[in-house]
Chain A
């Protein structure tokens, strides 16, 4: 009985945490919302904290940009790698790869950041930019996207391998026995049956990429830009918060603005998660 109460209490606290965070952030961001409309906060690119003007568009743009870039670079790779490892490769290869993937997933993000500064940034500056006939410091959206992609790969790969492992062998055998080739079986059974799992792995990968802070902050340049060129630098939301946290008190409303950025991150990641969970729920019934 007493245990029961404790367990329920624990559960409620667990459920209350995100709500409390959301409410707390909103409460702190509220003063800003009184001075400036939500539309102009989200879609203006005028960022003059001294004048009390806060347009978040450049930050939102950079965040979305590096996330999409990271997703494009990592998702297909992860999907094919996971299919190859679980459906075509030797058991020994998978046995070798699993701990490697775990180790890669466990490396702290600051280490990926350092690697990005030492390897990716010079690569972008010295090799990629000349390829397109321009110059770049290397600290760029592209560098951010690549580092993020590399960070997401072990994370998504792990989930995808898990997804493909849960598909019963009997279903594969059924497809093959009805005359499917190995590839057709992969298409009709592995990808079809694994579809909700694939989408959820992708979704969680996107959420992770969107919120990742340190590694991106180290390579992305941290200057406000709205540009489609991946060789220019950018300034994603998490980096904005992390970089300016110390200055908070000196400028009026700056405090609120950073809290608003945090709230934005929080809401977006919440929406991404809810969306993908709803999607999984919808498709799982097939």
Chain B
């Protein structure tokens, strides 16, 4: 990685970028963190919710945010696509660099930025429309009008989450006719349809039955080949099953992070040791 960075020197004299150079650039981009959080602070009038968060999130991995409830996991996740803007009482400062762009800077195209990230929340929030329209929603916002393209995307993404066979005969019905587990998978399909690079998942299985949970977990394992997944959970076993990297948070701070086998089996800090013993 370092070597590569060394060999890649933008040559101002060369007329054009060679093929070799291009692949090197692409290679570098792939290994560099897709998200870099620098000195992120989130405050309310009552106090700080997140304190000096510094975090690099690698591409195409599952990063698990772990911690007791109320430690700021959801807030951290919502900061990443600036849903914190919805909460006027929150003051957010710091840098969040996604694809080399600081999304905290003023004058951002928030809609375009947010489409880089699919959101899966604690319980499914289908939009007040049919199954079909839920999946098509993001595409329509993108300005895609072609019926053929939209139908194709709806079908592909419903198939990806294993919902197609269950709903293909009632695409026009309201989402409320689906079970919670199905709804959550629909929400995932809806997010995937806008072709994000990152998936933000906030305890996505906490409201689901074991079978739906299993389906979602397996999906995540598949999806990480193409997506960077940031998964919030307070279930230790889920973290162990899925994580490539675990970030342990406590009262708005990152206490410890590393490979799940390392930090969950040999915690360094007393806080994490205690958390692992007392559990969730």
Verify if A17 is at the interface (C-beta below 8 Å from B).
no
Per a CB cutoff under 8 Å, which of A177, A285, A286 touches B118? A177
Per a CB cutoff under 8 Å, which of B88, B111, B117, B200 touches A91? B88
Q: Report the minimum CB–CB distance from B92 to chain A (whole Å).
A: 15
Instruction: Spot the interface stretch: B29-37, B159-167, B187-195, B243-251.
Output: B187-195
**Residue picked from B78, B129, B142, most chain A C-beta under 10 Å:** B129
Given A174-B121, A177-B83, A178-B115: A91 touches B89 (CB 8 Å cut-off)? yes
Contacts of A5 in B (CB 8 A): none
B174 A178 Cβ-Cβ under 8 A: no
CA–CA, A215 to B99, complex, Å? 63
Which residue of chain B is the closest to A190 with respect to CB atoms?
A: B128
Contacts of B187 in A (CB 8 A): 174
Instruction: Spot the interface stretch: A141-149, A180-188, A200-208.
Output: A180-188
Given A181-B111, A189-B128: A285 touches B174 (CB 8 Å cut-off)? yes
Contacts of B76 in A (CB 8 A): none
A178 B138 Cβ-Cβ under 8 A: yes
Chain B 111-123: CB-based contact to A (< 8 A → 1; otherwise 0): 1101101110111
CA–CA, A184 to B31, complex, Å? 36
CA–CA, A168 to B121, complex, Å? 12
Instruction: Give the total number of A-B pairs whose CB atoms are below 8 A apart.
Output: 76
Tell me how many residues of B have a C-beta within 8 Å of chain A. Answer: 33
Interface SS of chain A: helix, strand, loop or mixed? helix
Which residue of chain B is the closest to A171 with respect to CB atoms?
A: B125
CA–CA, A282 to B101, complex, Å? 47
Per a CB cutoff under 8 Å, which of B81, B123, B129, B174 touches A177? B81
Which residue of chain B is the closest to A92 with respect to CB atoms?
A: B88
A184 B141 Cβ-Cβ under 8 A: yes
Q: Restricting to A58-94, which residues have a CB under 8 Å from any CB of B?
A: 90-91
B119 A177 Cβ-Cβ under 8 A: yes
A170 B125 Cβ-Cβ under 8 A: yes
22 A-B pairs with CB atoms under 8 Å apart are A91-B88, A170-B125, A171-B125, A171-B127, A171-B128, A173-B121, A175-B137, A176-B83, A176-B86, A177-B114, A177-B200, A178-B190, A178-B191, A178-B194, A179-B111, A179-B142, A179-B194, A189-B127, A189-B128, A192-B129, A193-B128, A285-B174
The 8 closest A-B pairs by CB, nearest first: A177-B119, A170-B125, A178-B138, A179-B115, A193-B128, A179-B141, A174-B125, A171-B125
